Amino acid sequence: MKAPLKIGIAGLGTVGGGTVRLLQERSAALALNAGRAIKIAAVSARKKKAKRAVAVGKYRWVADPLKLATDPGIDVVVELIGGAEGVARKLCEKAIANRKHVITANKALIAHHGTALARAAEKAGVSLRYEAAVAGGIPIIKSLREGLAANGIRRVYGILNGTCNYILSAMTDQGREFSDVLKECQKLGYAEADPSLDVDGIDTAHKLAILASVAFGCEINFGAVHVEGIRHVSLMDMTFARELGYRIKLLGIASVSKRGLEQRVHPCMVPESSPIAHVGGSFNAVVAEGDFVDTIVQEGRGSGAGPTASAVVADLLDIARGSQVPTFTVPATKLKKIKPVPMARHYGAYYVRLMVVDRPGVFADVAAALRDHSVSMESVLQRTRDPGEPVPVVMTLHETEEASMVRALRKIAATEAVVEPPRMIRIESL
């Protein structure tokens, strides 16, 4: 059997602790699988004496994580600190410069600096692995980069944030408002005290930018991702969605065409008949569409100690076996620059909800605004309330360019009888 693969782990939080526990409990099976043992040579974290779910006292402690990058007794640096900048970035750059393999679960780091890190790693002859950065325990990076490498991928999309999916699932199934479910998530530890990264769609956008690069062999372009969160989704919208045969999910969607690369994160109405509509709770799901394989769907836990550690160790096994593949499907020097498609040029169908004063002529004004901007109506739902109260008017619109839809809504919002900003949710044919 070959000499052990010696690793240094920086960061001993949820994922770091889970990784240590997995390596401890399955050491014999992992050695058999890899053809060599995987040994923890050193660990580093902010506080040495912090209370942890796993014992780390037997491992060599390194106070400064950057020293792992130059340690001659370490073959692989496992970065589980987090953050796009600071220590995490410096550690990865320094480890690569010292010809050490790097494994990270850091989606923000890869989304912002992945292309540069990949070029540096490939030039140095080492691996940069990041399976754990996207969709937790779902092996979507390996699937796209290796299992589906024979295909031209047309579109990749999915539920990439468990917190948002939990909130939207609870709103749909339990009839609860967004703010109520968010408070529950914070109590359960599913959401941070400041949930902005999750509920405003940024976490999903990081993951989508990475998926797009792997799927289409292009440079990561996080700045071109259109990002919307779920704060504006109401229980009323959920109710109307069910009546229309849809469910509301926060999706990350990337597609490539002759027009360029479209990357968008936003709430979507998806048909109840689609597999992704029934992915509930904190689960993730990713769908890839290829020219030969057609459509594949993968579902599983997107976060947590166990699933994320599983992805980290899967990368360790590949390195231990000597597996060498490009970081993003093709060599980093060959990654394409694909022209981004702005959201204004998105072409799709729409759900719109208006709150209006119920009086003669209101609907005629709305219809005129749609007509003037070449937006065609498909269906209308209207509910009555007590006299004097605003009533909801729900419309579904045929496919049109987003810029036209936005201009029409701006005109509708200026109508005196419309008492709230129009609520728009895009309808996806999946």
Catalytic residues, by residue number, are 207
CA angle 139, 267, 227 (to 5 degrees): 80
The amino acid occupying position 276 is: I
Pick from 413, 402, 400: nearest CA to 353: 413
How many Å apart are CA 268 and CA 246, to the nearest integer? 9
Q: What distance in Å separates the CA atoms of residue 371 and residue 365, rounded to the nearest whole number?
A: 10
Question: Which amino acid makes up residue 44?
Answer: S
In angstroms, the CA 304 to CA 138 distance is: 12
How far apart (Å, rounded) are the C-alpha atoms in residues 319 and 38?
A: 10
